Structure 1
Amino acid sequence: MKNLTTVIVGGASGLGLVTAKLMISQGATKIGLIDRNPELLASAARALQELGAEVATAVADISRAETAHRGFGEIAGQLGRVHVLVNSAAIYPRKPILDITDEEWDLENAVNVKGTYHMMVAAVRHMREHVNLPEVTGRIVNVTSVDAFKAHPQNAHYAATKAAVVSLTKSFAQECAKDQILVNSVAPAGFATDRAKELGFLPELAKASALGRAAEPSEMAEWIVMMASHRNTYATGENVVVSGGYIYV
């Protein structure tokens, strides 16, 4: 990650913050965080600064193009050229399929699909200003989910949005290939976040996985960082499933 500046959406906590810390351990010195929670952003920024990174933050509603693009622009204005975007922001509701309201559908799509799209547009416009062919111009990594491929009870609207992000990833990869912007996604099975522990599905997931356990966030972050790093020079339009043998796609 040396000399690569990264913007992480949803980077104030959870997998996004774990990914930021791993990037710093692998040589990143500039990290931008976008989130909707200013208190968490401030805390995350302090933690990353203590690790030696220059950190810029932006509070943004990514469901709206104007505010999403403004947030990206604020960070680019502070850190300079951005090489990597990681989209890890999402909401994960649980509700029986017959009880999902229009408002819940709209919110899920607004954050998980439109938010991801808006941030990708902002990043591509910025990265195209710095095209340096034949070298890779930029890298975008979206966090999807095995739920895009395997149904779960009370999970229909979340799963549908993650399937949409897999499709968006492939579409952006095709259109951005000429600019050497590599666009990929990583699809985790459930892993040991505070939210997953609260919902209580990790023991069931562990039993269904070939490895017999749920993953740690750091294990998922490794794949995100690999796809975002100098090591990735050829993969684009790929969705990497990391499930410990829970699902084979």
Structure 2
Amino acid sequence: MQGKMVIVTGGGSGLGRAVALALATAGASVAIVELDAAAASAVVAEIEAAGGAAFSVIGDITTRESAAALVDAAVAKAGRIDGLCNCAGVYPRKPILDISDADWDFSFSVNVRGLYDVSIAVIKHMQAAGGGRIVNVASIDALKAHPKNAHYAAMKAAVVSLTKSMALACAPDNILINGVAPAGIATEKAKAAGFLPELAAQTALGRAAEPDDVADVIVFLLSDKNRYMVGETVAISGGYFIA
């Protein structure tokens, strides 16, 4: 990733933070697109302290105009764009009979439409530059049903489908688009939510993923070592889901 510039949405915490750190370690310059300015600043400082290069762009991805403005600002500052990891997302959990219209709208605005709007803004820059790589973060819940997050699972299934369509549209421009579908990741939020022990008990490896377990796969997909994967969504579940 030496000399590359990659945007990571939601890079201030959880998987996004791990991806940003892994990219910086691999030599990329990282633009962290975040709503939480303090969290973004902390990750930028962490990367810089380790000798890497990073900067933050603060704002909301839930409208097309704001998403495009964030991408334009990142590209203007860095002078180029080589990759995008769509990590930003929300993880609502409710019994299926309790999901409100507001729950549906909020989940869709971040997990699907926000991802799409950021991607479209990035693709326009990549077309002008001659190519790039995009990774969309879906979820194993798109492939394996769960009774307490139906709307989240539906949104992540949409991400899997959207990844395929975007990949077909953009491959002729040398833009390789793929996705990842992680199972439970041992982020601080997931640990606090308390569902990881149950998930680990159903996983062949006997544990939830560490953020780096997923981040390393994403770095590969964003790198020039990925030359021939297009439109795939890679399940990263430790054996929780085996098709």
What is the TM-score of this pair, normalised by structure 1?
A: 0.95
The Cα of 1:174 is off from its aligned counterpart by 0.3
Q: What is the aligned residue count? A: 243
Matched, 1:2 2:2: yes
For 2:208, give the aligned amino acid. A
> Does the aligned pair in 1 maintain the 2:24–2:53 contact within 8 Å?
no
The Cα of 1:45 is off from its aligned counterpart by 1.4
Matched, 1:100 2:99: yes
In structure 2, how many angstroms separate the alpha carbons of the residues matched to 1:109 and 1:192?
A: 24
For 2:23, give the aligned amino acid. M
Give the match's secondary structure for 2:129: coil
Give the match's secondary structure for 1:104: helix
> Does the aligned pair in 2 maintain the 1:143–1:186 contact within 8 Å?
yes
> Does the aligned pair in 1 maintain the 2:62–2:109 contact within 8 Å?
yes
In structure 2, how many angstroms separate the alpha carbons of the residues matched to 1:121 and 1:162?
A: 18
Q: Counterpart of 2:200?
A: 206
In structure 2, how many angstroms separate the alpha carbons of the residues matched to 1:226 and 1:101?
A: 38
What is the TM-score of this pair, normalised by structure 2?
A: 0.98
The Cα of 1:153 is off from its aligned counterpart by 2.0
Give the match's secondary structure for 1:129: helix
Structure 2 regions of 5+ residues with no counterpart?
A: none
Deviation beyond 4 Å, 4+ runs, structure 1 = none
In structure 2, how many angstroms separate the alpha carbons of the residues matched to 1:224 and 1:141?
A: 7
Fraction of identical pairs, as percent = 47
In structure 2, how many angstroms separate the alpha carbons of the residues matched to 1:26 and 1:41?
A: 19
In structure 2, how many angstroms separate the alpha carbons of the residues matched to 1:162 and 1:8?
A: 18
Q: Counterpart of 1:180?
A: 174
Give the match's secondary structure for 2:163: helix
Q: Counterpart of 2:123?
A: 124
Matched, 1:34 2:33: yes
In structure 2, how many angstroms separate the alpha carbons of the residues matched to 1:26 and 1:111?
A: 28
In structure 2, how many angstroms separate the alpha carbons of the residues matched to 1:168 and 1:91?
A: 18
For 2:103, give the aligned amino acid. E
Q: Counterpart of 1:134?
A: none
In structure 2, how many angstroms separate the alpha carbons of the residues matched to 1:206 and 1:237?
A: 29
Give the match's secondary structure for 2:55: strand
In structure 1, how many angstroms separate the alpha carbons of the residues matched to 2:21 and 2:161?
A: 28
Instruction: Return the match for 1:232 from 203, 226, 230.
Output: 226
Give the match's secondary structure for 2:3: coil
Q: Counterpart of 1:87?
A: 86
> Does the aligned pair in 1 maintain the 2:136–2:159 contact within 8 Å?
yes
Structure 1 regions of 5+ residues with no counterpart?
A: 132-136
Give the match's secondary structure for 1:2: coil
The Cα of 1:14 is off from its aligned counterpart by 1.1
The Cα of 1:52 is off from its aligned counterpart by 2.0
For 2:218, give the aligned amino acid. I
In structure 1, how many angstroms separate the alpha carbons of the residues matched to 2:163 and 2:192?
A: 30
The Cα of 1:56 is off from its aligned counterpart by 2.3
